[in-house]
Amino acid sequence: MKAEGHPDYHMITVKMTDGTEFQTRSTWGKEGDTLSLDIDPTSHPAWTGGTKQIQEGGRVAAFNKRFGGLSLKKN
């Protein structure tokens, strides 16, 4: 394999949002750099089960709300 075709793979420190740190190997940054995360599994609602943004009803409910009083019957 060609040596110049591969990125530098080295040790970095990853800092989580709660302040905990761990070391891992990565191609990000330089040897010894610290990667500070803005979102991680300890703070993101997708992993913590926090509030979800769900639209109320749906397309059918919106249609019924807008046109629910109309009918095709002849009076």
Q: Please report, for residues 18, 22, 47, the alpha-carbon distance to residue 35 in angstroms, rounded to integers and kept in the order given.
A: 13, 10, 21
The confidence score (pLDDT) of residue 31 equals 96
Say how far apart CA 59 and CA 48 lie, in whole Å.
29
CB 21 within 8 A of CB 15: yes
Give bridge partners of residue 34 from the DSSP assignment: 13
Splitting the chain (75 residues) into consecutive groups of 10 residues, what average pLDDT does each group show? Answer: 81 94 95 92 76 66 81 67
- What does each C-alpha distance from 62 to 52, 53, 70, 72 come to in angstroms? 20, 17, 14, 19
Question: Which residue type is seen at 9?
Answer: Y
pTM of the model: 0.55
